[in-house]
Amino acid sequence: MPATRALSGRVLDINGQRFAIVGVLRPEFTGLDNFPHDVWIPLTAYGTAATNLMGAEQARALDLTARLREGISPEQAEARLDSFVRRAADAPAGERPRASVRPASPNPLSLQMLAVLSPIFAAFALVLVTACANVSSVMLARGVSRQREIAVRLSLGASRGRVVRQLVTEGLLISLVAGLGALALATIALRLATFAFFGTLPPSVAAILRLVPLDLDYRVFAFAMTVSIAATMMFALLPALQASRPSLIDGVRGSGGSVRRGSRLRHVLVIGQVAVSLILVTVAMTLARNGAVLSSIDLGYEPEGVLSINVRGQEGDPIRRLLPVLAADPNIAEVAATGGNPLFIRMRAVAAAPAGGSYSQAVRYTFVTPEYFSILRVPIVQGRGFRADEARSAAPVAIVSAATARIFWPGADPVGKTIRVERANGRPVDELPGYTQLTVVGIVRDVVSGLLIDGPDTGHLYLPMSADDSHAIAALVRGRTAPEPGPQALQALFRRAAQDPQVFEAIPLDQMRDLQIYPLRAASWIGFVLGSLALILSVSGLYGVLIYTVSQRTREIGIRMALGATQAAVVRLLVNQSARLSAIGAGAGLIATFGALQALSSVVQLRTMTFLHAGAFGAAVLLVTGAAALAAYQPARRATLIDPAQALRSDD
């Protein structure tokens, strides 16, 4: 707090204007919007730092925050505000105030949020179950190995409940220590993950992205302890019950049915671990493959060296004022105005059909200046580009994508043909007055204009416009050299075009492509980490089962070797057991994974991605079975070193 008090009275520069700091808010409060805020300034001073709310360049929307009186619903407030705003502000037709209740947190915990995060919760739950099964298997082996001690306690009068409580208490102590250690590791891992997150993001995005503080608090601590205790009670109670029910005579001798029952339970736990690891490894392989597929998609243009400039929160005038400033800068080679830049989602589509055709096809459309195709290095494969006079007069001509030409005029020359543009119900398109009939003047190759996961456009119309057209809402810039224009140079240009330069958002197109691929890459990295953890746990569980089997079957193996069994036969004995457990677990995991991904693919259908790929399933099976074979090596080698004479003299 002393450091925050010292800030009061200091001066902060905002867009060239000096503001005195009069207070510091608590770090927990970052505003009520979806993104955190850094600075609050008086509404009357807003015009000196950004858009003049009362001047000619007013913002299109203004948010007001108020606390409703008790008993007043948002619907009632909206109805009363509607009439008030119309009287006080003379709002244009079609514009009206909207009232809604905002939660205290920008992302409150809700059913919708839980549904979005459910895959992450499911993956971590699977790893938790695998870890608990591994610990349960170890505790079961530990309990069975102590059966003589437990039998002696029972024969001396100890109740079974007391023995169970002792074993569960030991498990609880272990879980508490493990939970505290896990919290410390989680704190370190959180810092490393944050560093890796910003280090792997595209640089222009990482520079503007902010994360709220991710410090652990008492609620996280309570959750971790609760999960540790609950997992212990669930997975330690069964081994305790199993170990406390031997026959007293067999228990004192150190043998009996308890060992066999314990072995069966351990086998079930190992099978479950192998199944879970196969599920997570298959998902990680699928995500990695889809990420590689997205990375290899041909965009249809060259994004390297091209800067995409969009406007935050408003459209039109800021871009039209910026375009001449950009064109006059000596460091900029080419500038193009667009009705929406590629790779930024603009789902504008119309129904189009060849003149005289009886059917229509949904196609996207984009207004562009004549420089658009040269700046993106999109070749005109047939015909010509737009002329300057066509752009100035908004001539009813169009350049169509190759996919559109193939659909409308298969095997024919599209240049000079006419396209009819309308809505699906046959009415003219309100957004395109004067463009109901378009003459095709050129053909360009297919490009990806929206999301990479959608692949190349199935149809696209390009319409001409000039830089001062009302459809110009974004810009594309290519500098004379690779690093130009830099961030500082851009900010200087933005200040010349708008009072608030932050209304402009500049992102290189190649980094926007990487940003669209990033979620799949990050998901595959997380899946790889979780799959690796599950695989390590399942392999260690299988290794423990085989080691335990060797220790329990020492006399049997010694007798087999004394009767002439070779070392290869002993190795086959243990390898077959490992292969049997791995095969059952892999089969269960394959069935579960295939069913889940099949259900997901029926709901989410994407042209460039598939959730069911034989290569991903095959690689996962090979990895899991190979790890299982590696886990069987050391126990099998250990079994071949058993001395038959010593094994026959063993009490175990």
Written as one string, the DSSP assignment of 418-456 is EEEEE-TTSPPPTTSTT-SEEEEEEEE-----S-GGG-S
Of the pLDDT bands very low, low, confident and very high (cuts 50, 70, 90), residue 159 is confident
Which residue, 647, 526, 538, is CA-closest to 588? Answer: 538
Name the DSSP letter for residue 412: S
Residue whose pair of structure tokens reads 């290869």 in the numeric block: 568
Half-sphere exposure of 184 (CA within 13 A, CB side): 5
Q: Which amino acid is at 394?
A: A
Of the pLDDT bands very low, low, confident and very high (cuts 50, 70, 90), residue 484 is low
Better-scored residue on pLDDT, 113 or 544? 544
Is the pLDDT at 619 greater than 80, yes or no?
yes
Which residues are paired to 475 by β-bridges? 309, 337
Of the pLDDT bands very low, low, confident and very high (cuts 50, 70, 90), residue 256 is very low
Is the pLDDT at 75 greater than 80, yes or no?
no
Measure the CA–CA gap between 349 and 445, rounded to whole angstroms. Answer: 18
Q: Which amino acid is at 345?
A: I
- Lowest mean pLDDT, pick from 114-128, 571-585, 595-609: 114-128
Measure the CA–CA gap between 370 and 146, rounded to whole angstroms. Answer: 83
Of the pLDDT bands very low, low, confident and very high (cuts 50, 70, 90), residue 259 is very low
- pTM value is 0.71
Is the pLDDT at 545 greater than 50, yes or no?
yes
Is the pLDDT at 245 greater than 70, yes or no?
no
Q: What is the mean pLDDT of residues 631-648?
A: 70
In whole numbers, what is the pLDDT of the chain averaged over residues?
76
Better-scored residue on pLDDT, 172 or 417? 417
Taking phi over 0 as left and psi of -120 to 50 as alpha, with beta for the rest, 422 belongs to beta
- Lowest mean pLDDT, pick from 106-110, 163-167, 545-549: 106-110
DSSP string, 256-316: SHHHHHHHHHHHHHHHHHHHHHHHHHHHHHHHHHHHHHHHT---SS--TTEEEEEESS--S
By the 8 A CB rule, do 577 and 546 touch? yes
Is the pLDDT at 275 greater than 80, yes or no?
yes
Q: What is the mean pLDDT of residues 125-139?
A: 73
Better-scored residue on pLDDT, 206 or 427? 206
Is the pLDDT at 444 greater than 80, yes or no?
yes
Q: What is the mean pLDDT of residues 123-130?
A: 76
Tell me the pLDDT tens digit for each residue of 25-39. 877 677 776 666 778
Distances (CA, A) of 598 to 12, 331, 371, 591, 604: 56, 52, 45, 10, 10
Tell me the pLDDT tens digit for each residue of 183-216. 788 888 888 888 888 888 888 777 777 776 677 7
Measure the CA–CA gap between 240 and 167, rounded to whole angstroms. Answer: 6
Distances (CA, A) of 354 to 348, 398, 405, 505: 19, 13, 10, 38
Which residues are paired to 351 by β-bridges? 362, 422
Tell me the pLDDT tens digit for each residue of 354-384. 877 767 777 888 889 999 999 999 888 888 9
Share of the chain above pLDDT 90, in %: 2
Better-scored residue on pLDDT, 445 or 246? 445
Measure the CA–CA gap between 326 and 490, rounded to whole angstroms. Answer: 9
Is the pLDDT at 93 greater than 70, yes or no?
no
- Lowest mean pLDDT, pick from 81-90, 94-103, 202-211, 591-600: 94-103
What per-residue confidence (pLDDT) applies to 142?
A: 65
Q: What is the mean pLDDT of residues 116-141?
A: 71
- Lowest mean pLDDT, pick from 99-103, 275-279, 546-550: 99-103
Outline where 17-146 has alpha helix (H): 46-49, 74-89, 111-145
Of the pLDDT bands very low, low, confident and very high (cuts 50, 70, 90), residue 246 is low
Is the pLDDT at 609 greater than 70, yes or no?
yes
Q: Which two tokens stand for residue 581?
A: 């457990």
Is the pLDDT at 388 greater than 70, yes or no?
yes
Tell me the pLDDT tens digit for each residue of 283-312. 888 888 888 888 888 888 888 888 888 887
What per-residue confidence (pLDDT) applies to 372?
A: 92
